[in-house]
A and B are shown apart, each in its own frame.
Chain A
Amino acid sequence: MESKDTQGILWEIFVQKKPGQPFVHCGSLHAFDKEMALQNARDLYTRRGEGSALWCVPSSAIVASSPEDVGPFFDSSNDKVYRHPTFYQIPEGVKHI
């Protein structure tokens, strides 16, 4: 068979430490399909009980903001101080708020 000696596509791996916690990116790996990605992720990233659940996402499916745009892209939230609780004044003596 004529084929390029490939390693499979690249997957990004996210591990959830305990149920209820967020999934955190821990690295990437190569695999040919979903099942292999899951098995490889288990063997590579959870050898010491690091996780209770895994997400494997093809790297090509990830859309990322670009570093050059950091300023303008996130700017719009900086001038909206009224989104923070400390913007509001509560009269002294009022409790539990």
Chain B
Amino acid sequence: METVSLEANFDAKLTRNEMIEPKDWMPDNYRKHLIRQISQHAHSEIVGMLPEGNWITRAPSLRAKIVLLAKVQDEGGHGLYLYTAAETLQISREELLDQLHTGKAKYSSIFNYPTLTWADIGAVGWLVDGAAIMNQVMLQRTSYGPYARAMVRICKEESFHQRQGYEIMCRLAFGSQEQKEMAQDALNRWWWPSLMMFGPPDANSPNSANAIKWKIKRESNDQLRQRFVNQTVPQAEFLGLSVPDKELKWNDAKGGYDFGTPDWNEFENVIHGNGPCNKERLAARVEAHDKGRWVREAAAVFAAKKKGMDKAA
């Protein structure tokens, strides 16, 4: 009886478009869904620092270097916003990190692709951050308060990320022939994985129904993917680059582009650990965590010692 009324109350709140806050009653599956989604999102931010970090020491100018440093620092910050949002759902930071390090939790499969040239840094900012923003703009209105508020902060900061990426693409696309080829090569390699970032097609997406029902997501994977294609293709045309999709064609009737199907077998493969960089990425995270252990231990001992001194004084 009691449970029924709590659940009815929860549903009524969602219907009224009110946010759910940490101390509100929520169905256990809503909590689990959010922990999975928010932690996956947090891990993606942190692991996402790695492919870009790869180019910090080799950025082609001092300006490019400070910009890339600032961007990678932002990604670290975004991870921290999201971890603390996840922690409001009764899971500890240690557990969250442990799930990442043991491979139990996933992160966006896009970060398992390598950044081979400087043009990849442009393509990542333009396409990968562009796709992430599309998703995150929607999540600003997600039903869970702490997640929505973290998204508002993140979206404010992300727009510089996409613009700096497009700026790099402009420099290369309007540069020498060799530079233009490098830009085209990066677009060729990042286009399809970027489309995959929105997740499997709606018909085949195991978590989508609940996410929509609970207003965690307001739009479906396919809707977001379509919008991304509509916005991005003209940007590629401006650069004079071609999108690597033979089926891509403007469809007047729907007011959007028709486009080909991503290779979902590849998607499954990368998600299940067989992408080009899965092992390297995870190993780098585990190593960073292990190497930081002495810092955490020293900080804990120092804090305890200072507390003792405060009491004695």
Contacts and interface: CB of A to CB of B under 8 A. Distances in A.
Interface of A: 1, 3-8, 10, 26-30, 32-33, 36, 43-44, 47-48, 64, 66-68
B31 interface: no
Q: Give chain B's interface secondary structure class.
A: helix
Contacts of B149: 27
Interface stretch (B49-57, B76-84, B106-114): B76-84
Nearest to B307: A33
Q: Give chain A's interface secondary structure class.
A: loop
A67 B296 contact: no
B273 to A, nearest CB: 25
Contacts of B302: 32-33
Size class of the B contact interface (CB-based, 8 Å) = 20 to 34
Interface of B: 21, 23-25, 73-74, 77, 80-81, 84, 87, 92-94, 149-150, 153, 157, 293, 296-297, 299-303, 306-307
Contacts of A68: 25
A27 B300 contact: no
Contacts of A30: 84, 93
A6 B300 contact: yes
A28 B157 contact: no
B297 A33 contact: no
Nearest to A66: B23
A87 B234 CA distance: 59
29 contacts: A1-B297, A1-B301, A3-B297, A5-B293, A7-B92, A7-B94, A7-B296, A8-B296, A8-B300, A10-B84, A10-B87, A27-B84, A27-B150, A30-B84, A30-B93, A32-B300, A32-B302, A32-B303, A33-B299, A33-B302, A33-B303, A33-B306, A36-B299, A44-B80, A47-B73, A47-B77, A47-B157, A64-B23, A67-B25
